[in-house]
Chain A
């Protein structure tokens, strides 16, 4: 069989995914002088990073000079219920300010303080106003800045190109294989290193803030070649997604609404968050409306419970709705109209104003928004080395949402954008260094490639089989109902059975038409990943018999100190998952002090 059967490109580093992390990784790898390719499923600049609204967390100390990396580090660890990789949290807190300033150097224009520096805003779980932002479209600013920088640096970009498998030679990465969405033709990348920066897999849930791209590709690419995942059961449900009308259910409502003065109310008009302050956060959370409101002006007051970490707020909303105090369409009310002036709202939250006006006929300067939890973010994912972003497979690196460790059991708002640039850069750097140091010839096993190609084309040969859209919808129902915010062993087991059935049905999936830009076919292929990720999440969720952060078990409602010291590790071998509990790495004493002195 001829090697030139497929369009082939050769690189030192291939970055898969062109959101914030992928772009930053590609920029860094390219700056190190290695031949770099950037591959994305959509057009360049459309990645999910554009949806990030509130801001990028970095202890610049522009608004509160008391802020520094230690405080940010502490907030991140506490928000993550101490399940975080301490080293990642440390690097993240230390390097985020430099990455933000670097974005400014490349053209990003953040909102300004009166003395001309970068303005920072309040967000859930952050002790000080810390989020550099541009109104409520910070992600767009970031991706456009990185995109333009990458374009001017001349990095090769492969748009609408979907990588389906990574290729291995002697246990090392040697290539990536996928197809062009436009033509359906296959394409082969020979490469020494791969950085996956593909985000999470939120599209397995029905109500999600994630776009179609969020099919867990990077997680599956990595597990298919034997990489470890950790804490994959930790799925963040953002407390405030839109709930009405049905067609927009799940679309994100930024935490910035609460950061800028909005408050959550139940159908009785009560600010219910005061009833849900956990002991862990009692000391620093206001217990009266008066103190909560005063906090917006003066940070000497304790912060409003509306801005507790996301897992707490999501669970509280869930409980209110279950208790029959929900809004007409099954959410709660988020009210900023009665608390801030229309001008202020339009200036600070322009795209929220626009989004509600256009999609729900709601004027948020006059009425409250109806909001409810929506599947938002994977804290868990590919297990990486904190300093190098290297996975457990040589030559494979991961950065951004696809990687695990930084956020522990729950991510703080604003920490994901900084995660992207801090660890995107580190992944790009390490991948380039790895590629430079890599010796010996890598050979692509063309038989392996041929086999993958045949698998990918199989849906065309099943006539009158399963409809991929139906399988996807069934999976979303299954994950939404059985692996949602509140979980029980019984339902999780039921989900496993459902997923198994769906896997069988996927084997019979058939698609109509030809290979050119065929969304039915694309979805059929993405389902491989969606099902694989869903299975991993469910298995890990059964394994973690406690409630912590994004993982709440009705049958084990409290955190268990035993589980607080371990990562749930899951890996695939010969198509079989195996689970393990492995201890977290020990935090050095100089960092431990940061937690003790505040008690």
Chain B
């Protein structure tokens, strides 16, 4: 409980310009980065813009880049840093800046609108829906997503290439697409959408999305690669193509 100070360099500014401003606040046991930001707000910079809600890693609002790493501020404990060293907090890079730590994440909401929705097959004869845990397990992993958009932010396809935003949906949406495609009762076919509209081919599986996911969803291995394989089934595998033709 030593009353040492922590030094934090926080980006202050908007799209027109800004700078990293240094703040010092007293450290407290068990503090996370978001606590420090709140202390700064309450005592030094009341207009410091930051998004947050649950402060327990469940809502995915407080995404930022802490010492250059995309993370949730509420789940980054201060004792993971070297005492005395200044910590840099910047807004997420991939989305347009609104102010300070707040960015315009509407890209993600726009992309979500275009996704072909769930389409269930008819109910069982007894009027119920039957699904089994072993089928649901896989999709439940995807449903853990808290939409913090850190995967979207870290993905170099759009992080470093603004123009790709037109034709690339990003890891979060691939997780969503995988959850629909693997839903045991869904009968919609999204292969074409995934390939041509969501831009799955742009992903070069460099796995940064998986690395930053605060929910530890295996985005690349369990969502993106299985989707790639499904697209291969449909578009790039001559034998599969032949088999499908013969079945018809």
Q: Do chains A and B touch in the complex (CB under 8 A)?
A: yes
Q: Which residues of A contact B (CB under 8 A)?
A: 42-48, 50-51, 101, 104-107, 109, 111-112, 114-117, 134-135, 137, 140-141, 144, 148, 151-152, 159, 182, 211-213, 244-248, 251-252, 351, 354-355, 358-360, 467-470, 473, 511-514, 516-521
Within 8 A of A (CB), among B36-54: 41-43, 45-54
Instruction: Find out whether the CB atom of B57 lies under 8 angstroms from the CB atom of A42.
Output: no
Whether B187 is near chain A, meaning CB under 8 Å from some CB there, is no
Instruction: Find out whether the CB atom of A42 lies under 8 angstroms from the CB atom of B29.
Output: no
Known: A46-B61, A50-B59, A117-B128. A358 touches B77 (CB 8 A): yes
Task: Give the residue of B30, B41, B51 whose beta carbon is less than 8 angstroms from that of A43.
Answer: B51
Instruction: Find out whether the CB atom of A50 lies under 8 angstroms from the CB atom of B128.
Output: no
Instruction: Find out whether the CB atom of B58 lies under 8 angstroms from the CB atom of A134.
Output: no
User: For residue A45, which residues in chain B have a CB less than 8 angstroms away from its CB?
Assistant: 147
Closest B residue to A106 by CB, please name it.
Answer: B118
Instruction: Find out whether the CB atom of B113 lies under 8 angstroms from the CB atom of A134.
Output: no
**A111 and B132 alpha carbons, distance in the complex (Å):** 9
Whether B232 is near chain A, meaning CB under 8 Å from some CB there, is no
Instruction: Find out whether the CB atom of B47 lies under 8 angstroms from the CB atom of A152.
Output: no
Instruction: Find out whether the CB atom of A151 lies under 8 angstroms from the CB atom of B53.
Output: no
Chain A: minimal CB distance from B36 (Å): 10
Task: Give the residue of A211, A246, A247 whose beta carbon is less than 8 angstroms from that of B53.
Answer: A211
Instruction: Find out whether the CB atom of B49 lies under 8 angstroms from the CB atom of A140.
Output: no
Closest B residue to A242 by CB, please name it.
Answer: B56
User: For residue B147, which residues in chain A have a CB less than 8 angstroms away from its CB?
Assistant: 45-46, 144
User: For residue A47, which residues in chain B have a CB less than 8 angstroms away from its CB?
Assistant: 53
Q: Mark B164-186, 1 if CB is under 8 A from A, else 0.
A: 00000000000000001001000
Within 8 A of A (CB), among B107-166: 109, 112-113, 117-118, 120, 128-133, 136, 139-140, 143-147
Known: A148-B112, A251-B56, A513-B47. A111 touches B133 (CB 8 A): yes
User: For residue A251, which residues in chain B have a CB less than 8 angstroms away from its CB?
Assistant: 55-56
Instruction: Find out whether the CB atom of A141 lies under 8 angstroms from the CB atom of B58.
Output: no
**A246 and B60 alpha carbons, distance in the complex (Å):** 21
Instruction: Find out whether the CB atom of A520 lies under 8 angstroms from the CB atom of B46.
Output: yes
Chain A: minimal CB distance from B91 (Å): 11
User: For residue B140, which residues in chain A have a CB less than 8 angstroms away from its CB?
Assistant: 109, 111, 134-135
Chain A: minimal CB distance from B188 (Å): 12
Task: Give the residue of A44, A104, A359, A469 whose beta carbon is less than 8 angstroms from that of B41.
Answer: A469
Chain B: minimal CB distance from A87 (Å): 28
Instruction: Find out whether the CB atom of B58 lies under 8 angstroms from the CB atom of A50.
Output: yes
**A354 and B56 alpha carbons, distance in the complex (Å):** 10
Task: Give the residue of B51, B54, B130 whose beta carbon is less than 8 angstroms from that of A117.
Answer: B130
User: For residue B47, which residues in chain A have a CB less than 8 angstroms away from its CB?
Assistant: 511-514, 518-521
Q: Contacts A248-B55, A512-B46 known; list 10 others, CB within 8 Å.
A: A46-B53, A48-B54, A50-B146, A107-B118, A245-B29, A247-B31, A247-B35, A251-B55, A514-B47, A517-B100
Within 8 A of A (CB), among B73-106: 75, 77, 98-100, 102, 104-105
Whether B14 is near chain A, meaning CB under 8 Å from some CB there, is yes
Chain B: minimal CB distance from A310 (Å): 19
**A144 and B140 alpha carbons, distance in the complex (Å):** 12
Instruction: Find out whether the CB atom of A244 lies under 8 angstroms from the CB atom of B132.
Output: no
**A114 and B57 alpha carbons, distance in the complex (Å):** 31
Chain A: minimal CB distance from B104 (Å): 8
Whether B32 is near chain A, meaning CB under 8 Å from some CB there, is yes
Whether B28 is near chain A, meaning CB under 8 Å from some CB there, is yes
Instruction: Find out whether the CB atom of A137 lies under 8 angstroms from the CB atom of B46.
Output: no
Instruction: Find out whether the CB atom of A517 lies under 8 angstroms from the CB atom of B102.
Output: yes
Chain B: minimal CB distance from A117 (Å): 7
Instruction: Find out whether the CB atom of A359 lies under 8 angstroms from the CB atom of B75.
Output: yes
**A252 and B145 alpha carbons, distance in the complex (Å):** 20
